[in-house]
């Protein structure tokens, strides 16, 4: 999953907007943002795991906000060292894909914030946040809570590649639904994607599309 290989695969699949959302970490974002090709809008982000074990997609307008969120999450994770012989390596890369460091604490755990607190914290530093793969039987907001809290300040739901889109839209009216590849391997990049109806690749336009405002929208495949 080196930057050049990821970008090449995305471009080969016709992707124009790509979010980098490692699990509970933003340490690899600097290398990706610095080496991104001009043809791609690369959005810095994270997939965070709340204390209810809910995965949430966090997106940010720039690297500075994303790295601030990364520092916050690092402080909220249990200080348990990673056992790379058991859980695998947690490498930090440079622009060329060389290993320049490791994440020392185990990233598989949950942070100490509730889903409501997590949404509020991300929004406070200018980010957008929404539940990941809501149709999945684990680590989704519906699997963990069984419902969408009425007081949760979200307008977007992400679905996985096998989700019944019409079922989700019917059961959760009023939400924008986005399908992403959620790629963990090179070959998965671009297998599932959505179209954003926007005027330009700008953060403000992305927010309008995700929230279905001013004739911007997400068209889910």
| pTM score of the predicted model | 0.96
48 pLDDT band (50/70/90 cuts)? very high
Give the chain's mean pLDDT: 96
Over residues 36-48, the mean pLDDT reads 97
Whether 1 shows a pLDDT value over 90: the answer reads: no
User: What pLDDT was estimated at residue 173?
Assistant: 92
User: What pLDDT was estimated at residue 19?
Assistant: 97
Query: How many CA atoms lie within 13 Å of 79's alpha carbon, on the beta-carbon side?
Result: 1
Rounded Cα distance between 55 and 181, Å, is: 15
Give the CATH number, domain containing residue 180: 3.20.20.140
Over residues 12-33, the mean pLDDT reads 97
Range of the domain at 56: 3-220
Over residues 52-58, the mean pLDDT reads 98
Over residues 168-184, the mean pLDDT reads 94
Q: What is the pLDDT of residues 77-100, one digit of tens each?
A: 999 999 999 999 999 999 999 999
Q: Count of CB atoms within 10 A of residue 177's CB?
A: 20
User: What pLDDT was estimated at residue 65?
Assistant: 98
221 pLDDT band (50/70/90 cuts)? confident
User: What pLDDT was estimated at residue 93?
Assistant: 97
List strand residue ranges (DSSP E) for 25-118, in order: 41-49, 55-59, 91-93, 99-102
Q: How many domains, in total, are found in the chain?
A: 1
Rounded Cα distance between 116 and 129, Å, is: 11
Per-residue CA distances from 47 to 57, 108, 200, 214 (Å): 5, 11, 25, 28
Whether 14 shows a pLDDT value over 90: the answer reads: yes
38 pLDDT band (50/70/90 cuts)? very high
């Amino acid at each position: 999953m080196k930057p050049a290989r990821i970008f090449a695969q995305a471009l080969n699949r016709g992707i124009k907007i790509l979010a980098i959302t490692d699990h509970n970490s933003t340490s690899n974002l600097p290398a990706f943002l610095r080496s991104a090709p001009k043809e791609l809008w690369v959005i810095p982000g994270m997939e965070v795991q709340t204390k209810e074990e809910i995965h949430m997609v966090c997106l940010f307008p720039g690297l500075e906000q994303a790295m601030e969120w990364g520092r916050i999450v690092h402080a909220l994770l249990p200080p348990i060292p990673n056992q790379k012989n058991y859980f695998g390596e947690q490498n930090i890369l440079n622009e060329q894909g060389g290993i320049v460091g490791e994440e020392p604490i185990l990233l598989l755990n949950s942070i100490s914030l509730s889903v409501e607190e997590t949404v509020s914290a991300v929004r406070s530093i200018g980010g957008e946040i929404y539940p990941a793969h809501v149709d999945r039987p684990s680590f989704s907001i519906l699997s963990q809570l069984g419902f969408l809290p009425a007081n949760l300040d979200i307008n977007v739901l992400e679905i996985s590649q096998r989700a019944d889109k019409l079922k989700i839209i019917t059961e959760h009216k009023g939400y924008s639904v986005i399908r992403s590849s959620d790629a963990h391997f090179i070959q998965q990049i671009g297998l599932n994607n959505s179209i954003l109806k926007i005027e330009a690749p700008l953060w403000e336009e992305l927010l309008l599309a995700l929230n279905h405002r001013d004739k911007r929208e997400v068209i889910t495949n």
